[in-house]
Amino acid sequence: MRSNVKVNKTMDKAAPASATASLSIPRQRTSKVIAETVKTGIVKSNLIAMFAGMALALYANQLNPLIMIPEIVLATIGSAFVIGAAGTFNNLYDRDIDRIMERTKNRPTVTGVMSLRNGLIFGSALAILGLISLFFASPLAGLFGFLGLFLYVIPYTMWTKRRTIYNTEIGSLSGAVPPLIGWAAISSDMMSLVS
């Protein structure tokens, strides 16, 4: 198929540097690119839920938080990394639909500032480091971290988000995991509130 559009081949030679520079990808601070890729708002809100589960476990088991500092730090870092990995994978998968939405069209994964390759490496590194950190807080916290990551990336992002209005119910399953991570980092007894 042939186009009827005529191209002025002398434009490159005659165009000022500012005209050609505006066509390139704008440079952003690395911290801003990372923050937008991992969805820091989602990370922060899920950490609040994780801390709630942790606080409840400390209270229910009558534990002093000062003796649980390693578990608290590992669970915080691990949760932040796993949630950030989930956000990164979601951004990578949704590049095509994010491109057409006003709210999301400037995300680094859409504009190309965060390439697919770099995003996959970054998200995978966050996931691995986060799961290791959670596992060292407690193996059960690591298991819940993996479960939350899986539920957000596969059933929510890849299977239901584009197919059904019930995707938010599926997504809520992964959203229910952070309090479980917080509790599990402190105590492996998930039933101590019942007794």
Q: Using one digit for the tens of pLDDT, what is the confidence trace for 53-73? A: 999 999 999 999 999 999 999
Helix (H, G, I), strand (E, B) or coil at 76: helix
* pLDDT confidence of residue 18: 42
Interatomic CA distance for residues 7 and 139, integer angstroms: 62
Residue 21 has pLDDT above 60, yes or no: no
The answer to whether 43 and 69 have CB atoms below 8 angstroms apart is: no
Would you give the end-to-end CA distance of the chain in angstroms? 74
137-146 per-position pLDDT tens digit: 999 999 999 9
Encode 44-79: b = buried (16+ Cβ within 10 Å), e = exposed.
eebbebbbebbebbbeeeeeeeeebeebbebbbbbb
Residue 25 banded pLDDT, cuts 50, 70, 90: low
Supply the mean pLDDT for the chain: 87
Going from the C-alpha of 25 to that of each of 19, 34, 90, 99, 144, the distances in angstroms are 13, 16, 22, 15, 39
Residue 1 banded pLDDT, cuts 50, 70, 90: very low
Going from the C-alpha of 15 to that of each of 10, 36, 130, the distances in angstroms are 8, 33, 49
Interatomic CA distance for residues 62 and 46, integer angstroms: 24
Q: In terms of CATH, what superfamily is 34-186? A: UbiA prenyltransferase (1.10.357.140)
Q: Tokens 């990370």 appear where?
A: 43
* pLDDT confidence of residue 43: 97
Average pLDDT over residues 85-93: 96
* pLDDT confidence of residue 29: 87
The answer to whether 134 and 74 have CB atoms below 8 angstroms apart is: yes
The answer to whether 185 and 130 have CB atoms below 8 angstroms apart is: no
Locate the domains of the chain by residue range.
34-186
Average pLDDT over residues 110-126: 96
Residue 122 has pLDDT above 90, yes or no: yes
Residue 107 banded pLDDT, cuts 50, 70, 90: very high
Going from the C-alpha of 34 to that of each of 38, 109, 166, the distances in angstroms are 6, 10, 30
- Identity of the amino acid at 148: G
Q: Tokens 């030679």 appear where?
A: 13
Residue 170 has pLDDT above 70, yes or no: yes
Residue 31 CB coordination number (10 Å): 8
Average pLDDT over residues 108-114: 93
Segment among 16-30, 120-134, 139-153, 163-177 with least mean pLDDT: 16-30
The answer to whether 47 and 175 have CB atoms below 8 angstroms apart is: no
* pLDDT confidence of residue 190: 81
